[in-house]
Structure 1
């Protein structure tokens, strides 16, 4: 029986567990979620690090090299071009092609014809699709013919560079392309073909002319006589010596379309300039290089060629020989040499052969005008060869000011609770400084910032542990009159909390420290009317009378924003007619603080700030300081007494006056004699209580009244009688008599 009972209980428990599990499975449901959420849940449970997001490219599309095939028509050039470009995203892109001065006949992208519209003076298409694409265009540009020369402006498609192939169906043609990165001209099958590389530009100048039969060869029938006048500018910088040779050639008794120059083997030709330049080349020799310059046509008379070449200078502090070119085949060559230093280099000659030193004033103006730095050495030579060896010594450059602040003007408003608003405007000149670093007072919070009238976003210095240091992004000053830098306004507004005013104490106000030297600093402070300021201390000097003077020319020579500031801060006589200096001061400060008027109801990082209005109410005090150094914080400490303190003092003296009146009255003193003293005390109290500015005068009146009462009550005689009753000469231990 007992075993049967155990079996029954066990069977019931097993059955209960089975039923419970079945019911639990029936209660389970099915949940459907989107695939992206499911993948996020799966990824969140794995230990694999999240794949970093790839930042988007800085541009939406880029162009490669273009291939141009140009053939001349009657009055135009037919251009067929092909450009490869790459699109980085699959959205729509607006692609500007060429100027609408050309006649566009066909545009295809990946073989599909595109619709074209004009925007900003250019043919434009829109295209959608990422990846590499091919742009094919066919268009016409106009040409003009003058004599036997045909010229025109070849408009180029958008590309990093272009490979030009110009095919002219004639031989004996001179082709000129400007600008060009080099090219070659060949003649084949009654055609002249020019191939060259063009830089990225909107267009180039293209011209060609037909040579006469006698000009088909580059060799002249008669050898001309060439005379050369050379002006060499030698510019020395760290790492290189650059020579600009201005060669004036005189061709007599013949014509030529080419010139040859001998240049040292350790120099590199940088640029050749001439109004009739076609091409040039360099041939390597045993000791020197040979520079060949070809013109578009034969010339006689005068011709000017500019050759710019460079020699590396491995050791700046060394002695080296100056490289100079020589005109090959010249009957006579003479010239001048000018030497300048691009950096802080000291130059002096160590060897001079067949060359004469001259004064800088004797140099031709054409050579002096080539120099961008002062000419240090000047020479003249009459023939080749000559030798000039120079020793250069580099000196260490000392740091100089890259930014300065001419004037700074600040206005501070403080209310009864000690909450202050301060606006500072810096008139700044900047050459290369990127940020203006300001160290705000303790507990301050910047509200907005403007540079040259435009709002900017102040940032916190990442390498500074001090949270009070903020950076204001700057701009560079533009060049003003007499090649000087023009100033611009940097404006900030911040909020500070220094504690409420008490019964008696001092209140300190501090302006931001700046990492730029300030020549003149002016500060106007508004304090509550209910407190009497006793004195000021600090490193700012209190200014008497007018507030900070404003240099009107400083503002009027600048942009419109600065001019408006000048008119508001320093109104001209035509604008205002105020005789009272204090009223004029109030007007100037009010205009200064309301130059930017708006409401700032919130602060959000990453957005441009709004303008803020600063109230003008209370007692006005002006301060100034000349030459504030970097990092120095202008400060003012005001010692004050509260309105309650003034009332307490007045009530004390009033009570004392009535006490002095009552006491003598009990001894039979005529109170009529005390009426004047009482009137003085009462009037002094009422005036001092009502008008804080004359509080000290009321105190003087009360003291005089107190002295009058003392005399009337014979207070000095009573004091003397009191001391006469004292027995000073009794033996030790004796007691005084009762008075």
Structure 2
């Protein structure tokens, strides 16, 4: 009250005192009262409803009318519980789709205004609160192939129920789409269905004559059609078949499938969706039990095998026969998994086909070429095969792509030689080398790592190898290097003589050999004195393109890791690690080369003069 009195005593146009604290605002009484009344009016204003109306429930009761012995129309009485949420004004409430024929719309027994908006009969009303809207309308009945149905769109409501009566003297089989609860019963001469429906969507009711129990039982007998795809693979002493059976199951599900497995075949595995168990009986019958009644398409895969003679002979493709099916047809593909020659015999109730026309169920499960193809249309087909075994031919498992040798020759007759082999190895454990007479091995390395060679009883040197890594579908090469020294005859006092030297002889072929001899700088070589099985050249030709061989650098992790593993297991030799030897190269280069060395002794010689010992 004191504050109000002070405000009343203030001048009509009070001005702020600039000496007052800055957080205070001084206004006139009229302005204050105006702001107060506006704030109070806003606080008392009720919140607007989220929508103009709501349908809390909808109950549809209908009866189908028969005309000319056929159901033509259905007349419905619908009771909709409507609640208008507006305090004032008109509300527009869609209640029925315009696809039905509206006879009457009443509230409390009085007709109400209805218009069509956006494809719906729409109630126009200014009545407030909750009330019941009664609708009388008709919907068409469509009949095709012995089945009748009614369908129309529903207005969204909180709860929707349906009761429909169909005049009939026999039992009917009803179906209400998306019904949560459904029941049907006989009421006088009517068959009546009741259902609870979702609040939105389409009401779809269909019915047809109910099939008697005896006829239904006969109809529920399943019919099965089978297509059999068999891939037969024959290797040394074993015939193995992978069979894929695709079933088409109609009318009723099947929980058990049966097959006849060819005599003599051992069943290894059976796979399929929902497979519970399988039993291969003594009479050759295979019984497969499923966890459910399979319908439509069902695929089963089985693997069978049998031991066959390693010398070949006559066989028959193992064709699995489905039991209890309406029709079975199939395809057979035959492949060889070894050095076997397979020929087809005189087939029975089958036809040879181009292997390229075989289904993907056969061609798609093998990387081997399919040699023979057959098609049959009956389960009694027979495909005889003639097998002939051929002996294996030894093939090269290790190859030296290149052999590059460098020899440092001194007037004292000593020769220090380094030989680097580019090796591709698939299976060989050692590279066997026959060193020249009186040669002393100084060092050896594999893949850039020093190794400890071994000595064979026949005097050969054994260099442990690693296995080549596969790169780009081919085996990559790695380096093997040996360094050895020879104490030869010193240069004669006359300075004339003959140089003769040989390279180590490996136990595997080499496609290219290059040898460079570094003679003392003042050596004069007679032009036509070159001899041996390597040709003298001014420059090495290097005929092997670098792009054709996937070389592994000597320090790559793959080769290094494999070498470490072999070294840890003693594969690289026992004892101290050899000392790497670097070759001092100086003097006059004399080049020799050879294409394709097949284990012969590699030798060069030439006559020289003008060389004096120092």
Tell me the TM-score normalized by structure 2: 0.57
Matched, 1:622 2:591: yes
Distance 2:539 2:597 in 1: 22
Counterparts of 2:610 and 2:501, CA distance in 1: 18
1:478 aligns with 2:463: no
State the alpha-carbon separation in 1 of the partners of residues 336 and 355 from structure 2. 14
Q: Measured at CA, do residues 445 and 300 of structure 1 come closer, stay the same or move farther in structure 2, by a change above 3 Å?
A: farther
Contact 2:540-2:592 at 8 Å conserved across structures: no
- Kindly indicate whether residue 425 of structure 2 is the aligned counterpart of residue 430 of structure 1: yes
Partner residue of 2:554 out of 557, 561, 567:
561
- Paired with 1:545 and 1:537, the residues of 2 have a C-alpha distance of 17
**1:496-535 equivalences in 2 (<5 Å):** 496-502=486-492, 503=494, 504-534=496-526, 535=529
Alignment check: 8 A CA contact 1:246 1:306 kept:
yes
Q: In 2, are the aligned partners of 1:409 and 1:548 still within 8 Å (CA)?
A: no
Structure 2 SS opposite 1:411: strand
Displacement after TM superposition at 1:245 (Å): 0.8
Aligned equivalent of 2:77:
none
1:495 and 2:485 correspond:
yes
CA 1:439–1:358 in 2, change beyond 3 Å: closer, same or farther?
A: same
Partner residue of 2:323?
Answer: 328
Structure 1 position 628, deviation (Å): 0.8
With over 3 angstroms needed to count, the CA separation of the structure-2 counterparts of 1:266 and 1:638, relative to structure 1, is same
Distance 2:315 2:551 in 1: 48
2:351 is matched with which residue: 348, 356, 363?
Answer: 356
CA distances 1:50-108 after superposition (whole Å, capped 9, x unpaired)? xxxxxxxxxxxxxxxxxxxxxxxxxxxxxxxxxxxxxxxxxxxxxxxxxxxxxxxxxxx
Cα deviation digits, residues 243-271 of structure 1 (max 9, x gap)? 11122222222223442221023111122
Cα distance between partner residues in 2 of 1:447 and 1:360 = 60
* Whole-Å separation in 2 of the counterparts to 1:499 and 1:298: 94
Task: Pick one of 304, 307, 311 that aligns with 1:309.
Answer: 304
Deviations 1:202-236 (A, max 9, x none): xxxxxxxxxxxxxxxxxxx9543222221111111
| Structure 1 unmatched runs, 5+ | 1-220, 565-603, 648-739
Cα 1:514–1:315 change in 2 (3 A) is closer
Matched, 1:537 2:531: yes
Give the secondary structure class of the aligned counterpart of 1:625: strand
Change (3 A) 1:615 1:282: same
CA distance in structure 2 between the aligned counterparts of 1:245 and 1:355, rounded to whole angstroms? 17
Bigger share in strand = 2
Deviation at 1:605, TM superposition (A): 5.8
Question: Distance between the aligned counterparts of 1:612 and 1:554, measured in 2?
Answer: 30
Aligned match for 1:415, one of 399, 410, 414:
410
Q: Is the 8 A contact 1:501 1:642 kept in 2?
A: no
- 1:633 and 2:601 correspond: yes
5+ residue gaps in structure 2?
1-218, 558-572
Give the direction of change, closer, same or farther, for the CA distance of 1:513–1:225 in structure 2 (3 Å limit).
same
Aligned pairs for 1:6-155 (under 5 A) are: none
- State the match for 1:606 in structure 2: 575
Task: Report which of the two structures shows the higher radius of gyration computed on alpha carbons.
Answer: 2
- How far apart are the structure 2 equivalents of 1:461 and 1:548? 33
Q: 1:452 aligns with which of 447, 455, 463?
A: 447
Q: Does 1:389 align with 2:384?
A: yes
Structure-2 change in CA distance of 1:275 and 1:316 (3 Å):
farther
Shift of the 549–325 alpha-carbon distance from structure 1 to 2, 3 Å rule, reads closer
**Count of paired positions:** 378
Higher helix proportion:
1
Contact 2:401 2:511 in 1 (8 A): yes
Displacement after TM superposition at 1:495 (Å): 2.0
The CA deviation at 1:280 is 2.6
2:343 is paired with a residue of what secondary structure?
strand
TM-aligned CA distance change 1:500 to 1:274, over 3 Å: farther
Moved more, 381-390 or 245-254: 245-254
Q: Secondary structure at the match of 1:366?
A: helix
What CA distance in whole angstroms lies between the structure 1 residues aligned with 2:315 and 2:354? 22
- Determine the structure 2 residue equivalent to 1:114: none
Preserved contact between residue 548 and residue 624 of structure 1 (Cα < 8 Å): no
Q: Report what 1:139 is aligned to.
A: none
Q: How much has 1:355 moved relative to structure 2?
A: 0.5
Task: Label 1:298 to 1:453 Cα distance change in 2 as closer, same or farther (>3 A).
Answer: farther
For 1:296 and 1:607, the matched residues in 2 are separated by 66
Q: Aligned-pair distance for 1:374?
A: 2.2
Cα distance between partner residues in 1 of 2:384 and 2:312: 13
Offset from partner CA, 1:530-588 (integer Å, 9 cap, x none): 43222422111122235746743356x44343789xxxxxxxxxxxxxxxxxxxxxxxx
Q: Secondary structure at the match of 2:378?
A: coil
The question of whether the paired residues in 2 share the 8 Å contact of 1:268 and 1:311 is answered with: yes
1:611–1:271 Cα change, 3 Å: farther
Q: Secondary structure at the match of 2:361?
A: helix
CA distance in 1, matches of 2:310, 2:548: 46
C-alpha deviation, 1:611, in angstroms: 2.2
Pair 1:297–1:500, CA change in 2 (3 A): farther
Are the aligned partners of 2:444 and 2:481 in contact in 1 as well (CA < 8 Å)?
yes
User: What residue in structure 1 maps to residue 161 of structure 2?
Assistant: none
CA distance in 1, matches of 2:361, 2:238: 23
Alpha-carbon RMSD across the aligned residues, in angstroms, is: 2.7
Once the two structures are superposed, what CA deviation does each residue of 1:635-681 show, in whole Å capped at 9, x if it has no partner? 11121124459x9xxxxxxxxxxxxxxxxxxxxxxxxxxxxxxxxxx
